Amino acid sequence: MARTKFNNVKISGLTTVIASNCESIDDEEELYDGDLDKIRRLKKTVGLGERYVVDDDTTSLDLCAQALERLVEGMDLDKSNIDGLIFVTQTPDYFLPSNSSIIHGKFKLPKSCACIDLNQGCSGYVYGLWVAHMMISSGTCSKVVLLAGDSMSRTVNPKDKASLPLFGDSGTATLIELSSNPLNSYFDLNTDGTGFGSIIIPAGGFRKPSTEKTKIEFEDGENIRSEENLAMHGGEVFKFATREVPKAVESILNYSGNSAKDLDALVFHQANKFVIQNIIKRLKNHDLTDVLIPLDTVSKYGNQGPSSIPSTISDSLRHDVSHSIKKMLLCGFGVGLSWASAVLMMDKIFCPKIYFYKKEIKND
Amino acid sequence: MTRQEFLNELSDIMQLDEVLIGDEVLEDFSEWDSMANLGVLSMFDMEFSVHLTTDDLKNIKTVAGLMTLAGDNISI
């Protein structure tokens, strides 16, 4: 069973940078053939609304780099002390080298710094935190930066009614370091690879390289896309999430010796409001009355993949985590299929408001 | 689950403002869409341990018809 506990690692800072171009489902009547009632229902039931997306030459690396700049400036970090860097993304700049190596060079980090990319999506923030905790508790590193971000909007076909209005882009930076006080954190990691086809970009990799044929658009139900676009089978993902996530929450509560009412906040990956509400319905035997459970991130910024959990903390919980100690349950779930949960403390961390991406003018 | 609880739950899944009585025709509601289907499948799974598919729902015409799928799980 992939679960573990740490007692000497803490999260000390977190920054979020959201892409700068705002899009709204209210402006997309054409996509729904003028069916305003359908748009109204998508807003009400699924919680769709506004989202922020990158332009064609901005990547998740750019968003995360700005988040890291904000973290370094805001915490007055000495970069020469950073000895671990993890970049969680599924939209890297290149097949090779890794995004973490590029960030390492861009920020002139010390050569004695371990850099890895993790190819994970919506469960990736919790996976990344787990790896960071291991790097520190093993004695390998003392200050690890976790960058998490995707630019899924660039993978979605503009005629895909199901996915276009859902995804937003953002980048986040989190500092994880050795804690002088004992601080318990618990992790539980899971995978069901039989569902790998439920969320997939079928072509463009080495299994099915990009060709003229893979660029051809085709109809998939109500949606139009090519094999090089993101394909998400919403019904399957919904069934997966409502089947596994409530069990995962119960499992990490048991493992960490907590009941639901011991939590200050329960932060799910912000897939969409409909999914989260159905997960919560299945937790009806637990007392969640006084637990903060953010639901509306998707309506404000879209589904942000691996950065949805940290960006929700920046947006909805920053006053809570920056002024006192809070017990948090974090749960990410999605592509893989994979899911990961953690119970950990956030004790007066550096957590400023959300920033919007400012494009640098390049002279090349 | 009582009949009234089922109707309330269905109204919640479909995000309706009105109260359901049971003889409504599902197709008359624009809210009876793929999302509502998923919500209903999830409710049957969770509340009754009855595992339906979207095909099972296609043959159902009315709200009362949906209730018959739950069998003895719904009391008066």
Question: Averaged in consecutive runs of 10 residues, what is the pLDDT profile of chain A (364 residues)?
Answer: 96 98 93 88 89 96 98 97 98 97 98 98 98 98 98 95 93 97 96 97 97 96 93 91 96 97 97 93 94 95 97 97 96 98 97 94 62
Q: Write out chain B residues lying below 8 Å of A235, CB-based.
A: 34, 38, 54
Q: Between B31, B39, B42, which is nearest A41 by CB?
A: B31
Contacts with B, A 259-298, CB within 8 Å:
274, 278, 281-282
Q: Is A220 on the interface with B (CB under 8 A)?
A: no
Cα B71 off chain centre by: 12
Q: What fold, for A1-364?
A: Peroxisomal Thiolase; Chain A, domain 1 (3.40.47)
Look at residue A129 in the predicted model and tell me its pLDDT: 98
- Tokens 């995804």 appear where? A167
Cross-chain Cβ contact A278/B30 below 8 Å: no
Angstroms from B59 CA to nearest CA on chain A: 19
Q: Write out chain A residues lying below 8 Å of B47, CB-based.
A: none
Look at residue A68 in the predicted model and tell me its pLDDT: 98
- Tell me whether residue A269 is one of the annotated catalytic residues: yes
Q: Between B15, B30, B42, which is nearest A278 by CB?
A: B42
Contacts with B, A 5-24, CB within 8 Å:
none
CA angle B46, B52, B58 (to 5 degrees): 130
What's the whole-model pTM score?
0.93
Look at residue B35 in the predicted model and tell me its pLDDT: 84
Q: Which domain holds residue B40?
A: 3-73
CA dihedral A301, A302, A304, A307 (to 10 degrees): 30
Look at residue A364 in the predicted model and tell me its pLDDT: 54
Return contacts of A20-27, CB within 8 angstroms, 24+ apart: A20/A52, A20/A54, A20/A356, A20/A357, A20/A358, A20/A359, A21/A52, A21/A53, A21/A54, A21/A55, A22/A50, A22/A51, A22/A52, A23/A50, A23/A51, A23/A52, A23/A53, A23/A165, A24/A49, A24/A50, A24/A51, A25/A49, A25/A50, A25/A165
Look at residue A127 in the predicted model and tell me its pLDDT: 98
CATH code for the domain in which residue B42 is found = 1.10.1200.10
Q: Report the chain B residue with the minimal C-alpha distance to residue A282.
A: B46
Give the residue, B27 or A350, on which the prediction is more confident.
A350
Look at residue A57 in the predicted model and tell me its pLDDT: 94
Task: Tally the residues of chain B.
Answer: 76
Cβ-based interface (< 8 Å): residues of B facing A: 15, 30-31, 33-36, 38-39, 41-42, 45-46, 54
Q: Is A236 on the interface with B (CB under 8 A)?
A: no
Look at residue A38 in the predicted model and tell me its pLDDT: 86
Whether the CB-CB separation of A67 and A145 falls below 8 Å is answered with no
Q: Between A41, A239, A282, which is nearest B33 by CB?
A: A41
Look at residue A362 in the predicted model and tell me its pLDDT: 65
Count the Cβ atoms, other than its own, within 10 Å of residue A106. 12
The total number of structural domains in chain B stands at 1
Angstroms from A241 CA to nearest CA on chain B: 11
Look at residue B18 in the predicted model and tell me its pLDDT: 83
pLDDT in tens, A183-198: 999 999 999 999 999 9
Q: Write out chain B residues lying below 8 Å of A37, CB-based.
A: 30
